[in-house]
Chain A
Amino acid sequence: MTARDVWPILLFGAVAALLPVFVTAGTLLNFAIFTLIICLAAQGWNILGGFGGQYSFGHAAFFGTGAYTAAVLQVRYGVNPYVTFLAGIALAAIVGWIIGFLSFRSGLRGSYFALVTLAFAEVFRVLSNAVEFTGGAAGLLIPLDARAANFQFESRGWFYLVVLALVVLALLMTRALERSRLGAQLVAVRENEDAARAVGVDALRVKLSAITLSAAMTGAAGGLYAQYFLYLDSTIAYGTWISVEALLAPIIGGAGTVFGPVIGAVILHTLAEVTRMMVGRIPGIDLVIFGVLLILVVRFPPRNLLAWLRGRR
């Protein structure tokens, strides 16, 4: 990595860190925190899907594991929230490795991989809904105790800065990956797995590393979600909504680019807010727009659009 690789990320972090100075309105900070959590989950998806070309439809499996681990260890065993947060990341990474090991070893690619990840997420959802350990259908409430030592903050601004720091860290890690040997091999696998194999890339190892890192990042997003909203149930933690969010943001913002997930998440959530302001709270209306946007982005790839604009000039 060179300075040129790093300074746009640090600049983004510095500018975004100014937000709580100017904005104190709770709703806006709420919106910003939620969007940043999605950025983190989406960056996780981007590593596997964007750089590696393995489209997961079940990143909820990692998000939910990160979230539930953080919550269950705190509520049931009274473990320190910072420790449970890290444990959640670790467990999500392990779950990612196992799912990756099972599906990549069986040679699942493309649609089959998408299907199997979706099914894994659903298994977790059904289990967490049925088992008493995770609070069952009633969900799990993390007791409110707003102290920094408890990973809960009196002001939203502090939590915002913590989440932002983690997003910046994720951006730096993604940039480092992009510039690394592993990153190059990952892109090679995406572009043509057989050719990559032929020149000596260990495709299985590369994909396993990617899904593990990917799951850890999305798991971290889950842990932050639990820590911020202090409530979890099976449809929040393992629901399809987060699988879709994690996938949409990079696709809209540019899959396989470092800033794609951030751009996508900000576009999507700003759009959703604006729609809500304009037409009121009609349930589902924001997702209708997401769906249309997804189709349009695939139909008219922004890259082509940019090339077309340049060509006309």
Chain B
Amino acid sequence: MRNFPPEIVMEAVANGLLTGAVYGLVALGLTLVYGVLHIINFAHGALLTLAMYAAWVAWAAFGLDPYIAILPLVPIFFVLGYGVQRLVIGPASRGEDSNILLVTLGLSILLENAMLAIFRSDTLSVQVDYAMEVVELGPMLLSFPRVVGFGVAFVVAAVLFVLLRMTDTGRAIRAVAKERTGAALVGIDVRHVYAVTFGIGTACLAVAACLLLPSFYVNPRVGNAFVLVAFTIVVLGGMGSVPGALLGGLVIGVVESLSGLYLGDSLGQLGIFVIFILVLLFKPTGLFGAKA
């Protein structure tokens, strides 16, 4: 293994943390949906790709800066997520785990290939003048879009935390997550709460997409790269745990960055999968999760 000067390693760690926060945001939606609906949403990656295309279209057709595009895209994707759960996943699954698995897989195949048919396999990106700007932090030079992504990811996590703790909707969501039947008995509309949760999860993706776009690219398969990472984070952080998702995101970001540094780009992804398999095999409740 090569030896790198400490500044390079430190910069890799910092970059890993920055990327990891956005990973955490992607995982946040996934873990929330899992925690409440107890489903593994295989369409999560495809929905992220969809959000990235939406942000790209907002920029290409309407000249909207990706950061501004967060404002219209969040409500749109909330409604989309609400509708998908209410009209497609809910009715098709009839409460069976394997059905949900298959329906969300079907959705992801459908979305991913619809985007392939519309946008073709070309890689698209946005040109914004701040894409190449850097922020100086001590000896490190950090990319400006990534720093923004890091900050916004934490803001979103905080908003979500407050929403879950302090509002009636949040209480209803937590009630359903804990005890579905009991929540239904005290008059909570469980199907509505399910759909709202799915909507929030999808809205998180819209934010993540807008944060990623200035420093990343979009093609029909881009979500795939994130979805396994997000699953890894969710499993690592404990299925259903919100702080776990964010922490897991940071850990995975650093692991990816360091294994990329030491193993090279093509083998670098391996670190994540290996962690994923090891955690699944030996500690499927996650490092921060309490119960399976």
Contact = CB atoms under 8 A, between A and B. Distances in A.
> Does B bind A?
yes
A283 B103 contact: no
Contacts of A108: 280-281, 284
A293 B110 CA distance: 9
A235 B132 CA distance: 32
B110 A116 contact: no
Contact of B280 (A116, A122, A126, A291): A116
A126 B281 contact: no
B284 A106 contact: yes
A119 B107 contact: no
A123 B274 contact: yes
**Chain B interface residue number, banded:** 35 or more
A97 interface: no
Interface string A14-47: 0000000000000000000000000000000000
Nearest to B108: A291
Contacts of B284: 106-108, 112
A306 B274 CA distance: 45
A287 B109 contact: yes
B280 A284 contact: no
Interface in A106-126: 106-108, 110-112, 114-116, 118-120, 122-123, 126
B109 A114 contact: no
Contact of A294 (B105, B228, B267, B280): B105
Interface string B93-118: 10001110111011111111111110
Nearest to B121: A283
A299 B266 CA distance: 40
A295 B282 contact: no
A199 interface: no
Contacts of A292: 106, 110
B270 A295 contact: no
A144 interface: no
B117 to A, nearest CB: 4
A291 B101 contact: no
A114 B40 contact: yes
Interface in A166-220: none
Contact of A126 (B92, B97, B106, B273): B273
A140 B131 CA distance: 39
B228 A290 contact: no
Contacts of B150: none
Contacts of B280: 103, 106, 108, 112, 115-116, 119
Contacts of A57: 42, 105
Contacts of B139: none
B224 interface: yes
A298 B107 CA distance: 12
A288 interface: yes
Contacts of B266: 126, 129-130, 137
Most buried by B among A247, A283, A288, A292: A288
Contacts of A129: 266
A291 B88 CA distance: 12
B110 A288 contact: yes
A287 B113 contact: yes
B225 to A, nearest CB: 10
Contacts of A290: 106, 109
Contact of A288 (B101, B114, B269): B114
Contact of A122 (B97, B101, B228, B235): B228
B64 to A, nearest CB: 27
Contacts of A118: 228
B91 interface: yes
A11 interface: no
B198 interface: no
A116 B277 contact: yes
Contact of A295 (B98, B107, B120): B107
Contacts of B106: 290-295, 298
A299 B103 contact: yes
A244 interface: yes
Given A284-B220, A294-B105, A299 B91 contact: yes
B117 A284 contact: yes
Contact of B109 (A102, A112, A244): A244
A211 to B, nearest CB: 15
B67 interface: no
Contacts of A102: 277, 281
A295 B88 CA distance: 8
Interface in B24-79: 39-40, 42
A278 interface: no
B231 interface: yes
Interface string B216-244: 00001000100010010001000000000
B276 interface: yes
Interface in A53-111: 53, 55, 57, 102-103, 106-108, 110-111
A274 to B, nearest CB: 16
Given A119-B231, A291-B106, 13 more contacts: A102-B281, A106-B280, A111-B97, A119-B277, A126-B266, A240-B224, A244-B105, A244-B109, A284-B114, A292-B106, A292-B110, A294-B105, A299-B91
28 contacts: A53-B98, A57-B105, A102-B277, A108-B284, A111-B39, A111-B40, A111-B97, A115-B276, A119-B228, A126-B266, A126-B273, A244-B105, A244-B109, A247-B105, A284-B113, A284-B115, A285-B117, A286-B113, A287-B110, A288-B109, A288-B110, A290-B106, A292-B106, A294-B106, A295-B106, A298-B99, A298-B102, A299-B92
